[in-house]
Structure 1
Amino acid sequence: MQPTGHLRGDAVRVAGDARQRFHDSRGYGRPLEGNEISLSRVEAAHLLFRGDLAGVSLAPDADPVGFERFFVESAAAADRFAVRYLVYADLRDRGFYLSPAREPWPGGTADVADAVDFVAYERGSTPDTGDVKYPVQVVGERESLPAAGLVGRTLAVVDEESDITYFAATGGAIEGATEYEPPERLDGVLLSDRVVVWDAPEGLYERGFYGQPLTGRAAAVEGAIQLSLVEAASLAADGVLSLSASIGAAGDGHVGERAAGDGHVGEEPTTDGPAAAVVARGRDVEGERFDRRLAVYRRLRAADAVPKTGFKFGADFRTYLEVETVEDLPHSEHLVRVVDADHRFSPRELSLDVRLAGGVRKEMVFALTAMTGGEGGSLENADVKWLSIGRLTP
């Protein structure tokens, strides 16, 4: 005969041989005195669904109810009960022992964030051993999800048809091995949304993969490279790029000469040098996002990775870790999307990005970027945290 549980507060108590039957052998609940255990609502519902509990009494001296009544009552009483139950049952069916991680249900000895709903243990281990495999955060399809703090978590997204998609969130720092140093000086012309270097050395594009050649089948001009504004701003900040006559968005020409001592490597652009001119143009055409994208671009270049536009993939950048020559260019390894440090994902947005990256055999990395002193603040001291998210099959 199966035992009966009794709801007390937000927990279900089960007496008799419950400790041996449920906790010791299958990792349900947590022990109380003697052989009694305390179950979370999700655990009790799962045991009811399996027929391992005969019923649960919702009040003292009340007749026990079955799974259907208990499920409906719990969905009304407990936050996000339905989606958490679906994930719990799915992981149990996959062979994992789990512990609820929300207070007052700490998951074993695991130190997990408050947003984590369950901890799933390594197969073959129990809550007593505490070998956590997945700290699981349950997310409904229509919820929003803060990007900050996701590293180390397993996201279980439940869609409107109760299907579950799992994602692994890890630290996604990008380190490259591209060996190229730009020339000491380049001269360019600032146009409305790009910079043209007319006499660029061959290695700038062929080995450094900066810009795009301005060529055609019957080109009479050789050595001309078009730089994006973010590429040009980075080179100018490093003291490499100076500007001659520049053409504004409205067609007005002016001269931005290279200032003596301006823009040495590691320094902030001065307010009137070539770097400041390019950054100002970038803000004109792109708005506040330009500063964050430039900060991330410079971090990637400093890590010897080569960032190029990710427009075709709906991202800010695609990255190449090791470029020797453009003629022998490898596949890019990452898609990088630059977001605010306090960005909140929608699960649909997240799923779209990760699915697209996986479809083109790349890793999806988000650069959570906060500018020191706000937008327009320090580029070199910008706070960039890397977040890599990929599909997971537990």
Structure 2
Amino acid sequence: MIGILVNDRVKAGKQAINELYNVGYYGRPKGDTLELTLIEAAYLHYKKKLEIQIDDRSLSFEEFFTEASKRQQYFDLKYIVYKDLRERGFYVQPSVTDFRVYPRGGHPGKTPAKFFVHVISERIPLSLKELRMSLEAAHNVHKTMVLAIVDEESDITFYEIRKVEPAGSVESIEQAVQGKRGRSTFLEDRVVVWNSDFSSSLHAAGFYGHPLDADRLQLSLVESGYLLKKGILEVADMSGTSSLGFSEFAAKASVIESEFMLKYMVYENLRDRGLVPKTGFKFGSHFRVYLDFRSVDKLPHSEYLVHSIAEEYEFMLPVMSRAVRLANSVRKRMIYAVYDNVHCAYIDIGRIKM
């Protein structure tokens, strides 16, 4: 069977529709012609089901693969993923995010596609904007977005990308303290609550802070900012002569920690959702997050690792891979939180077996 290379497509005749599309769902019929993408054509050439010509000259697989690489960016990466999926038994067709993939046992015309797959090299930074565009494209048509990362040895790791709306069941701090208000001092890089009863209430009811001793509680910057903004905590400077408003506190905290406001807005959103965020430093992320909290003495397993990122963030894929691997190893989900000055969006990234 012969196909003719024309720009970024290979066109074959009516016989190809019967033998390639009707049997294997390769290409797209257009009248009496079957139009194949360069990747589909390369795979069929490799399988010896298609001869490809240009200017009445047949191309070897090497010649076609090289020519296709000139005509389509990252052709080699996409071919690697396409071939892998096809040989795993999936039907694969082109889509706005590289490929749409049908579930095993399904095919075009019988079942809807299940996955939208986006292909990228481990060496190429992935912008959050690009990731969210691919995620939206999949989400809008009820598909699962999969990121296929090809490493330097041509191995593929698949990651499922999901929008999530985390929610917990912890009562609000206003309900927990029942109108109480505590006094604290902003020291060098944390805040200490002095009142014994109030310290105990904060720690027991919402897992705020870490006890300095039996009577006093140390709070992190984001915890202190949250309680200050809620009107539950009074924060004095070290001179003891003035109390700080939230804006003044945030300005001082941002000098100590440049990402303070980025972290704070996510922390506030998580708390307002009934979740308990605590530092995720040991896991290389901003927060570890508890969905359900009843007692410090019977602390449940934290469900998520959450890392706050800005809208202009770029994923370094080896770094992302390490973060997801670590989260999986400690039985947590890796979630990236994006605050866009209006609301927080949460993106769950986890490995998936295809």
In 2, distance between residues paired with 1:322 and 1:203?
Answer: 18
Structure 1 position 130, deviation (Å): 5.9
List gaps (5 residues or longer) in structure 1. 102-113, 216-221, 248-252, 258-272, 372-381
3-state DSSP of counterpart to 1:322: coil
Taking every aligned residue pair, what percent have the same amino acid on both sides? 36
| Structure-2 residue corresponding to 1:300 | 270
1:314 partnered with 2:284: yes
Contact 2:14 2:34 in 1 (8 A): no
Contact 1:320 1:331 in 2 (8 A): yes
Equivalent position amino acid for 1:240 in 2 = I
Contact 1:292 1:370 in 2 (8 A): no
Pairing of 1:10-25 with structure 2 (within 5 A): 10-25=8-23
In 1, distance between residues paired with 2:111 and 2:62?
Answer: 32
Contact 1:304 1:321 in 2 (8 A): yes
In 2, distance between residues paired with 1:125 and 1:200?
Answer: 64
| Structure-1 residue corresponding to 2:306 | 336
Structure 1 position 129, deviation (Å): 4.2
Scaled by the length of structure 2, the TM-score of the pair is: 0.91
3-state DSSP of counterpart to 1:327: coil
| Structure-1 residue corresponding to 2:155 | 163
Pairing of 1:305-384 with structure 2 (within 5 A): 305-371=275-341, 382-384=342-344
Contact 1:354 1:364 in 2 (8 A): yes
In the superposition, relative to structure 1, how do residues 385 and 78 fare at CA in structure 2: closer, same or farther (>3 Å)? same
Contact 1:180 1:207 in 2 (8 A): no
Structure 1 position 284, deviation (Å): 1.2
Contact 1:6 1:12 in 2 (8 A): yes
Contact 2:26 2:93 in 1 (8 A): yes
In 1, distance between residues paired with 2:5 and 2:89?
Answer: 27
In 2, distance between residues paired with 1:16 and 1:368?
Answer: 50
Pairing of 1:107-256 with structure 2 (within 5 A): 114=96, 116-129=97-110, 131-148=112-129, 149=132, 150-151=134-135, 152=138, 153-181=145-173, 182-183=176-177, 184-201=180-197, 202-215=200-213, 222-244=214-236, 246-247=237-238, 253-256=239-242
Contact 1:7 1:57 in 2 (8 A): yes
Which contiguous aligned blocks of 4+ residues in structure 1 show a shift greater than 6 angstroms? none
In 2, distance between residues paired with 1:277 and 1:8?
Answer: 64
Structure 1 position 329, deviation (Å): 0.3
Specify which structure has the higher proportion of helix.
2
Equivalent position amino acid for 1:358 in 2 = N
| Structure-1 residue corresponding to 2:141 | none
CA RMSD of aligned residues (A): 1.5
Structure 1 position 342, deviation (Å): 2.1
3-state DSSP of counterpart to 2:20: helix
3-state DSSP of counterpart to 2:79: helix
1:76 partnered with 2:74: no
3-state DSSP of counterpart to 2:206: coil
Structure 1 position 122, deviation (Å): 2.2
Structure 1 position 207, deviation (Å): 2.6
In the superposition, relative to structure 1, how do residues 9 and 180 fare at CA in structure 2: closer, same or farther (>3 Å)? closer
Aligned length: 337
Q: Alignment partner for residue 281 of structure 1, among 248, 252, 261?
A: 252
Rg (Cα) greater in structure: 1
Contact 2:172 2:272 in 1 (8 A): no
In the superposition, relative to structure 1, how do residues 8 and 130 fare at CA in structure 2: closer, same or farther (>3 Å)? farther
